[in-house]
A and B are shown apart, each in its own frame.
Chain A
Amino acid sequence: MQRSVVKKKVMKANFVNPVEETMTSSSAPSRKALSKIACNRLQKELVEWQVNPPAGFKHKVTDNLQRWIIEVNGASGTLYANECYQLQVDFSEHYPMEAPQVIFLSPAPFHPHIYSNGHICLGFHIANADILYDSWSPAMTVSSICISILSMLSSSTVKQRPADNDRYVKNCRNGRSPKETRWWFHDDKV
């Protein structure tokens, strides 16, 4: 009985706040500089990444610690084999308390949970707990997010946009504040 209520519930996917400027991907994030703690943590993650990068990912070296651009190679044997996409990961000053915002840069892969503007909706229908961005924990890392996203891509059986793509993307253009942006959970099988 709780079931239907649960599914209709509006969830805030904190890590992918569709900030307006991410629509026009070139503009810089208008966000406060990283705290010392966020800086230290990201530097540590970067070092770890260089030593031991997640398979299928390549970090494009920039001098911007606050925005990572990461190349994703579709895993062989999946719908996205031999395809390459780019993820943009933005960190708030409060990282890792706050989840990072992760979007695909254009062109975003066709996938039932990836909108044409690159926003990703990862929900509870995916059996992998790491993929629950809704329950972000500061013990997660960029690397663990990447692995989740690749597993989401790899498990896809069809290359298509989410059913509500047009409505969603249009809403994002209406310039509402990131704080108001919430995700509707897809009503797939749980």
Chain B
Amino acid sequence: MAEEEEVLMEVEALQAVYGDDCLVIEKFPPNFHLHINPRTADDSSQQFVEAVIGVRACPQYPEEPPHLEIIGSKGLDGHRKKHLITRIQEKAHELSSCLMLVALCEEAVETLSNMNHPDGNCPLCLYPLVLEDKQNSFLPFMKLMSCFHCFHSECIIRWWKWLQEQKEINPNTSSYDTVCPSRDLENQREMHGTMKANMGNCPVCRMIFHTEDIEHVLNLVGTHSFQLNLEETEASSDEALLQSDSENIRRQKFETLLKLQQENSGLIEPKSIEVLLPGTFLPESITIPTVSVKATNKQQQGDPTSTLASETDSSGSSNKPSTSKPKNSGMRKYRAQNSRKQLKQWIKKENSATE
């Protein structure tokens, strides 16, 4: 049986590895919350899932495995949450009566990294965001930084433009307003005046987002001459769009990126400073954003200084699936230092965060 001292040392090791992502509630018997991101999380725009897991050991640990639960998550439906917790529990059984806390946490990060893609359909058109079984069948999509809900870029922009148009047409009938914050009428009315200028509400969960989130996509879409315009979009059939050459190329590139990501367990080494758009996932140029725009509201509010530079030539070659070398050690440290704010932010929002 392990001594208490050994267990205490393990907890210390845990804190050293995970830094602020690890919230220790009790040192002995160990009880802590761990905020996990996929391994790409240094770039928050490439992050589609996150979770906080709770680990609570009893005094008999490690003879008895700790109790494990998911305390909160974003971007994970029930099925994927179950998968995550099952994997960690299996690991706990496998390592039974060894000191296992760090290993369990690593397993959790690993599992989450492999699930780092949006799930299901675009809530606006109801067509899949990503088809995992078929190759080459998706359109560019983006996520809202506040709640991780994902949409086809085209769909959300169409919706956004529609809202703007309606405001112009009926500036007075603001009561019909999808950009209303909460379930509470009084609140809505009171907040309405102050918030509508630079915020919107997620069509799915109504969580507030900053219009910068969307405007970035808007600019981007303009830059890359997507079919963005309402009339144009309506006229063109989706089938035609899917068949078009540029669309095929875009899809192939995206496919490559996904493969690369899988081979590296979700870890992608930032390669070049190119497009930086919070929440935008743009398969058509596989530039990997490197500047960390963190998913905290505060910083989004701050300055929309992200620059948009496009570089098309290098992206193709530099992102081919190459050797999959493990990058964990370096990244881990970086991530741990970098995540101070995220934990707080995240916990605050957890109620409305899940689907």
Q: Which residues of A are at the interface with B, using a C-beta cutoff of 8 A?
A: 2-3, 5-6, 9-12, 14, 35-37, 40-41, 44-45, 48, 94, 96-97, 124, 129, 132, 134-139, 141, 190
Interface positions of B from 274 to 318, Cβ below 8 Å from A: none
CB-defined contacts of A136 to chain B, threshold 8 Å: 176, 178
| B234 pairs with A36, CB closer than 8 A | yes
| Chain A residues in 8 Å Cβ range of B123 | 138-139
Q: Are A44 and B127 also in contact (CB < 8 A) when A2-B190, A134-B176 are?
A: yes
A134 touches B175 (CB 8 A): yes
Knowing A2-B186, A44-B125 touch, does A135 contact B177 (C-beta < 8 A)?
yes
The one of B175, B201, B234, B235 in contact with A11, judged by C-beta atoms closer than 8 angstroms, is B175
**In whole Å, how far is B168's beta carbon from the nearest beta carbon of chain A?**
14
The answer for the CA separation of A96 and B201 in the assembled complex, in Å, is 16
Q: Is the CB of A124 within 8 A of B185?
A: yes
Interface residue? B189 (CB, 8 A): yes
How many residues on B have C-beta within 8 angstroms of the other chain's C-beta atoms? 30
In whole Å, how far is B171's beta carbon from the nearest beta carbon of chain A? 13
- Which residues of the other chain, B, contact A141 by a CB distance below 8 angstroms? 126
Given A14-B176, A40-B125: A137 in contact with B162 (beta carbons within 8 A): no
Question: Could you say which of A2, A14, A45, A135 contacts B189, with CB atoms under 8 Å apart?
Answer: A2
Contact among B183, B188, B190, B203 for A138, CB-based, below 8 A: B203
B237 on the A face (CB < 8 A): yes
Q: Please judge, given known A-B contacts A2-B189, A139-B203, whether A37 and B176 are in contact too, CB under 8 Å.
A: no
- What's the minimum C-beta distance from B88 to chain A, rounded to whole angstroms? 31
- Please indicate the chain B residues that have their CB under 8 angstroms from the CB of A138 in the complex: 123-124, 159, 178, 203
- New A-B contacts (8) at CB < 8 Å, excluding given A45-B126, A139-B203: A12-B173, A12-B175, A36-B236, A40-B127, A41-B126, A124-B185, A137-B201, A141-B126
